[in-house]
Amino acid sequence: MRIADIFKSGPDPVFSFEFFPPKGDKGHDALLATIADLQDLAPSFVSVTYGAGGSTRDRTLELVSYIKNRVGIEAMAHLTCVGATRDEISGVLDALESASIENVIALRGDPPQDAEDFVPHPDGLAHALDLIEMIRGGDRSICLAAACYPEVHPQASSPDDDLAHTIAKVRAGAEVLISQLFFDNECYFRFVEKVRAEGIDVPIVPGIMPITNVAQIERFTRMCGASIPDSLSKKLEPVREEPDAVVDLGIEHSVEQCAELLAGGAPGVHFYTLNRSRSTRDILSRLRELRPWQR
């Protein structure tokens, strides 16, 4: 099913999970266990990331197809422009369609670890917008999502330019926006208001990452330009070296954050699971008890 249709007529709110393709056999087995553990939470869809420079191409395809065709959960593949020609990107789209994958989140992608800036392949694409236009210019019926940044993409020339680029992705054919992780809900609500003021009414899904490790979340937020509010930093600092306490605090914070987002009209939550089940399971179970969207 196309995820745009899930947002139109499926459960309200729509909960979804993101996984990444693990490298070794151990990670693979652990992920299958996580998927099995989260299955009874009945996510409306799950998404599978695409590694830097297409490094996980085959594993992304394999995993997204396994989830859709063997586990039976609706799935969305991430696809980036990094290091690929247009023909190679077309080949990936063909393979996805052959595996009956109906949903793709079209991304520019981040530069590989050894490179500072994103440099498009000479026969490739420079922006997510180009990928969306390429796909919509053909006869593919894939449902397209795109990324958005409540705290502005770190390489954007200005917040207004970034907003304009996001809106261009929707006008070109993205039917759902999924946000970068953030911890300050005001950023999300302000961003939604600005997008709506431009006459755009697609679902804008908050991407939420439960905190499980303080150093890791500090690294992620630095890289993606998100902020950790002082009030949250102050709670994290004293438990920084206590793994269980960090996980518990992360769960508490995410429950509060998601409850406020859903009460404020967010159409669902996309959980960045980091391939682990405990936090996502606890947060989603608590939200379903609290039902903040009915407030």
Q: What residues are labeled active site?
A: 18
Q: Is residue 223 at the binding interface for ligand FAD, with CB under 6 A as the rule?
A: no
Task: State which of residues 13, 21, 43, 109 lies at the interface with ligand FAD (CB under 6 A).
Answer: 109
Whole-angstrom Cα distance, residue 21 to residue 59? Answer: 6
Q: CB of 44 within 8 A of CB of 55?
A: no
Does 80 sit near ligand FAD (CB under 6 A)? yes
CB–CB of 56/23 below 8 Å? Answer: no
Measure the CA–CA gap between 158 and 271, rounded to whole angstroms.
28
Which of 223, 195, 217 has the alpha carbon at shortest distance from 52?
223
Q: Which is nearer to ligand FAD, 128 or 246 (CB)?
A: 128
Scanning 2-10, 22-30, 148-156, 190-198 for contacts with ligand FAD by CB under 6 A, the matching segment is 148-156
Residue matched to tokens 């699971």? 273
Q: Is 182 in the site for ligand FAD (CB under 6 A)?
A: no
Non-local CB neighbours of 105 within 8 Å, separated by 6+ positions: 47, 76, 77, 78, 79, 144, 145, 146, 147, 178
User: Residue 238 Cβ, how far from ligand FAD at the closest point, in Å?
Assistant: 30
Residue 17 CB, nearest approach to ligand FAD (Å): 12
Does residue number 5 form part of the binding site for ligand FAD (CB under 6 A)?
no
Nearer to ligand FAD, 211 or 246 (CB): 211
For ligand FAD, the binding residue among 28, 86, 121, 127 (CB under 6 A) is 127
Query: According to the binding rule CB under 6 A, does residue 200 interact with ligand FAD?
Result: no
Asked if 103 touches ligand FAD (CB under 6 A), the answer is no
Q: Strand (E) positions, 81-142? A: 103-107
Q: Give min distance, CB of 89 to ligand FAD, in A.
A: 13
Cα distance between residue 8 and residue 34, in whole Å: 28
Residue 49 as a binder of ligand FAD (CB under 6 A): the answer is: yes
Query: What is the nearest approach in angstroms of ligand FAD to the Cβ of residue 207?
Result: 5
Could you list the beta-strand ranges (E) of 141-181.
143-148, 176-181
One-letter amino acid of 185:
N
Q: Does 110 bind ligand FAD (CB under 6 A)?
A: yes
Give yes or no for residue 50 binding ligand FAD (CB under 6 A). Answer: yes
Beta-bridged to residue 268, according to DSSP, are 14
User: Is position 147 an interface residue for ligand FAD (rule: CB under 6 A)?
Assistant: yes
How many CA atoms, within 13 angstroms, populate the side-chain half-sphere of residue 274?
Answer: 14
Considering beta carbons, is residue 52 or 239 the nearer one to ligand FAD? 52
Let me know: does 20 contact 35? Beta carbons within 8 Å.
no
Q: Which parts of this chain interact with ligand FAD (CB under 6 A)?
A: 49-50, 52, 78, 80, 105, 107-110, 127-129, 147, 153, 155-156, 161-162, 165, 178, 180, 207
